């Protein structure tokens, strides 16, 4: 497969489009958890019930489709190849749980992949809207519209006191998880992040790295999301998160300015060394790739590097994960082979920009 064709198929709109504050905020996501009233939750439901839920969704989709978000496609998990599933997970369109453990799992996807509706995951329905940049309220509006559309066709599990009833008590109430993906190299380089994270946790929000394991955040990419779903309105949850994110944006910007003033040449050196590594290496592990991509993105944002798209970090962080690399290669790869493939993919992608 040619790189260009691969990119066309692989890159969803939230990865490549620009949004508000997209120098720091990579994407905003809203997720709503919903359940049908008359069926048992996925923990206990029978195969017949699971099938009926998918059938129901297919009927709704065929008989009273929602026009606004374009054509939707229903993918049944059991009909997908392992590699296809992995690619959907790496694009954040479905959860690992849906890909691996769900019975009769399925997903409804819009063409631009901004909207995905998971069926029979931990809850019967999980509506997800993923937008580029800081667009929480836009994503919430879209999710609400889809929610209203579904609700006009099915009976949701809802009670006045507990709100939307979910399989897990951590999601009950609004069923809302709002999250924002941020690139925070300035706060990492100035080592302020260790002070900021505990403060954010105290506000009922969670900060974690989305790539990498444990406490490390590969590529200086962090995800900030709400923990509390009960007792606050959807708008309040989204507004509170947005407030904290705006604070982080201004802190990150001033950290970058401080770095420019105090260690301009060191920073420039770091950026161009990383660009050198990405343009020339023949073997690269995901950890090193992530670090260099973060540096290069910072270099683009701060004006050291021009003629390079801002979205390169987001795009390559996703495309250099094992599933995508193997899809690009057209077969399974051992870890060592992946590192070679990864280096080649990144080199080719950078060359493509430079030849433009």
- We find the least distance from the C-beta atom of residue 211 to other proteins, in angstroms, to be 15
Distance CA(252)–CA(293), nearest Å, equals 18
Task: Residue 330: count other Cβ atoms within 10 Å of its Cβ.
Answer: 9
Of positions 9, 152, 263, 332, contacts other proteins by CB under 8 A: 152
> CA separation (Å) from 180 to 28, 205, 241, 299?
5, 11, 8, 22
Nearest-10 Cα torsion for 156, 160, 166, 171: 130
Residues numbered 107-126 forming contacts with other proteins, rule: CB under 8 A? 122
Instruction: Please report whether residue 212 would count as binding other proteins according to CB under 8 A.
Output: no
Closer CB to other proteins, 44 or 265, in the complex: 44
Instruction: Please report whether residue 46 would count as binding other proteins according to CB under 8 A.
Output: no
Of positions 213, 303, 330, 331, contacts other proteins by CB under 8 A: 213
- Per-residue x/- track, 171-200, other proteins (CB under 8 A): -xxx-x-----------------x------
- Return the percent helix, strand and coil in the chain, to nearest 5: 50, 15, 35
Q: At what angle do helices 322-329 and 3-10 cross, to 10 degrees?
A: 140
Sheet of 115-119, strand order: 72-76, 106-110, 115-119, 125-132, 25-34, 176-183, 221-226, 205-209
Of the candidate spans 101-109, 126-134, 159-167, 277-285, the one that interacts with other proteins by CB under 8 A turns out to be 159-167
Residues numbered 17-36 forming contacts with other proteins, rule: CB under 8 A? 35
Of positions 229, 294, 326, 327, contacts other proteins by CB under 8 A: 229
Phi, psi of 130 (to 5 degrees): -125, 115
Of the candidate spans 126-134, 141-149, 323-331, 335-343, the one that interacts with other proteins by CB under 8 A turns out to be 141-149
For 223, the token pair is 């995800």
Of positions 158, 242, 268, 309, contacts other proteins by CB under 8 A: 158
Spatial CA neighbour of 42 closest among 92, 103, 133: 103
Closer CB to other proteins, 230 or 308, in the complex: 230
* Residues at the contact surface with other proteins, assessed by CB under 8 A: 35, 37, 39-41, 43-44, 122, 144, 147-148, 151-152, 155-170, 172-174, 176, 194, 204, 213-215, 228-234, 237
């Amino acid at each position: 497969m040619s790189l260009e064709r691969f990119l066309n198929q692989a890159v969803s709109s939230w990865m490549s489009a620009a949004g508000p504050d997209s120098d720091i905020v990579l994407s905003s996501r809203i997720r709503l958890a919903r359940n049908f009233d008359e069926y048992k939750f996925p923990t206990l439901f029978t195969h017949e019930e699971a099938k009926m839920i998918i059938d129901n969704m297919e009927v709704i989709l065929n008989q009273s489709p929602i026009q606004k978000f374009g054509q939707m496609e229903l993918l049944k998990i059991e009909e997908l190849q392992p590699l296809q599933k992995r690619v959907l997970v790496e694009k954040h369109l479905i959860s690992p749980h849906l890909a691996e453990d769900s019975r009769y799992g399925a997903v409804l996807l819009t063409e631009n992949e901004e909207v995905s509706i998971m069926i029979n995951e931990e809850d019967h329905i999980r509506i997800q809207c993923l937008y580029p940049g800081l667009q929480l309220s836009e994503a919430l509006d879209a999710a609400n519209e889809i929610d209203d559309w579904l609700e006009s066709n099915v009976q949701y599990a809802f009670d006045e006191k507990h709100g939307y009833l979910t399989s897990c008590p951590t999601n009950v109430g609004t069923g809302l998880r709002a999250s924002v993906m941020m690139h925070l190299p300035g706060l990492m380089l100035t080592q302020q992040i260790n002070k900021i994270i505990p403060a954010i946790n105290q506000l009922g929000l969670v900060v974690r790295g989305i790539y990498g394991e444990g406490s490390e955040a590969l590529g200086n990419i962090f995800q900030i999301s709400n923990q509390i779903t009960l007792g606050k309105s959807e708008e309040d949850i989204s507004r509170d998160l947005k407030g904290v994110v705006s604070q982080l944006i201004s802190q990150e910007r001033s950290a970058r300015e401080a770095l420019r003033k105090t260690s301009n040449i060191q920073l420039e050196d770091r950026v161009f060394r990383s660009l050198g590594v990405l343009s020339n290496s023949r073997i690269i592990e995901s950890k090193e790739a992530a670090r260099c991509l973060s540096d290069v993105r910072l270099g683009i944002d701060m004006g050291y590097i021009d003629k390079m798209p801002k979205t390169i970090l987001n795009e390559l962080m996703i495309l250099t994960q094992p599933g995508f690399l193997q899809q690009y290669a057209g077969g399974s790869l051992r870890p060592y082979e992946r590192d070679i493939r990864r280096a080649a993919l990144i080199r080719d992608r950078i060359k493509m920009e430079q030849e433009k």
